[in-house]
Amino acid sequence: MKATTSFLKRRSFLKTGALAGAPCVIPARLLGSKSPSNTITLGFIGMGGQGTGRNLGTFLHEKDCRALAVCDVKTPHARRAKDKVDKQYKNSDCTVHRDFREVIARDDLDAIVISTPDHWHVPMSLMALRAGKDVFSEKPSLTIVEGRALATEVARRKAIFQWGIEDRSLVKYHRLAGWARSGAIGDLEEIHVSLAHKKALPKDKPTAVPEDLDWNLWLGPAPFRPYEASITGPQNWRNITDYSGGSLTDWGAHLVDTAQIGAGMDASGPIEVSGSSRELEAGKWQSNAPTNYTLEYTYANGVKMFVKDAGVDIRFVGSKGWVKCSGWNGTWKASDEKIFKIKEFGREARFWPRPDIEHRDFLDSMKSRKPTAYHPEAGHRLFSALHLGHIAIHTGKKVTWDPVKESFGDPELVKNFIYRRESRDWASA
């Protein structure tokens, strides 16, 4: 599969915007050094709950970085974020933007932090990379092709990129994957993953666009549609495939990552995927992302993974027992709880080191220029598995995949697969 960047040919607003004014803080990259004594300067795009609460909130408490700009298409979100920055720094230097291009164009920023809906992750990341910035972006990508294009661009520019996923730094999931891949339950045979179920979004009526929202910029690379207030509600856009992939790509980006690490397949991917979902009643719903789905994945090492949306849970089953985590970052359980006490498994070479929280890991990687825990290739392999699940559900056929060549066993299946995403292909010829 050849990567393509044709999806970047968007409506005219994607042209580079003008520079914005900024406070005089010398960014680390302009000093020609990434030493700990230099301040890493950050611009933030997307100031909803995740952008302001987790990402901005976490970076604000790191002493070697500085937030200089916040941006959101919803003006109240950006102003709320600025208030948080000003309160932390006890000044009013942070600038507010509605157009993300102004932030990317600033030459006083070392890195861009992206916390937008999914359809903007890769286009914004590529624009920031091409402006010479390192990037921290929320997960996931929207398509397989986008993910490959991003990984290729980061490698070509020798940039630092981090997907915003925390699981590899969480003890519960780090240990769970470690027990599975280090032999604590014998030879791994099956993985059972349950993801949070998302309620369908009912149809809504178009209304006038609020004055404090730039609807055109919110849509961005997605097809145009009249404004409907319900779409931009918290997480509602995740139900619509123009902007996201439902719980499969949202929650799947967490638990399926742990699953693939436990299977030793985190740098590879499945070879076969099949699945189905319940069809929603026609004409009643905005939602078109899969719901009430079941998926079966097969990996080259013989491990099977079964995925459904019925609450958060992950269980590894081996020839000598099983281990699981019930609930999000919840409770460990095992066929024999003595597994939890076997210290030598924690010293196994396959029990790789647990990284710092993803924000700290990103800053440290910017200084060392070493890959992050969730570098673009790691994210691409994870998201590809999830996108393959979408294809299997929507075609109703078994999908065969070569994770080495990143190609489909039946190109015609994908070629005939119609999916409403403007200028985007699941695979290129």
Per-block mean pLDDT, blocks of 10 residues, the chain (429 long): 36 36 50 60 97 98 98 98 98 97 97 97 97 98 93 97 96 93 94 93 93 96 93 91 94 97 96 92 85 97 97 97 97 93 71 89 97 96 96 92 94 62 34
Provide the whole-model pTM. 0.90
* Structure confidence at residue 416 (pLDDT): 62
* Structure confidence at residue 243 (pLDDT): 95
* Structure confidence at residue 16 (pLDDT): 38
Note down the domain range covering 313. 170-355+376-415
| CA–CA dist 420, 242 (Å, integer) | 7
Same domain, 103 and 213: no
* Structure confidence at residue 38 (pLDDT): 85
Same domain, 155 and 221: no
Nearest alpha-carbon partner for 307 in 142, 180, 195: 195
* Structure confidence at residue 326 (pLDDT): 97
| CA–CA dist 197, 385 (Å, integer) | 19
Same domain, 125 and 192: no
* Structure confidence at residue 35 (pLDDT): 41
| CA–CA dist 254, 125 (Å, integer) | 21
Same domain, 318 and 174: yes
Which residue type occupies 39?
T
- In the chain, the number of structural domains is 2
Which residue type occupies 124?
M
CATH classification of the domain holding 44: 3.40.50.720
| CA–CA dist 309, 312 (Å, integer) | 8
Which residue type occupies 215?
W
| CA–CA dist 327, 248 (Å, integer) | 16
Q: Is residue 363 part of a domain?
A: no
* Structure confidence at residue 351 (pLDDT): 73
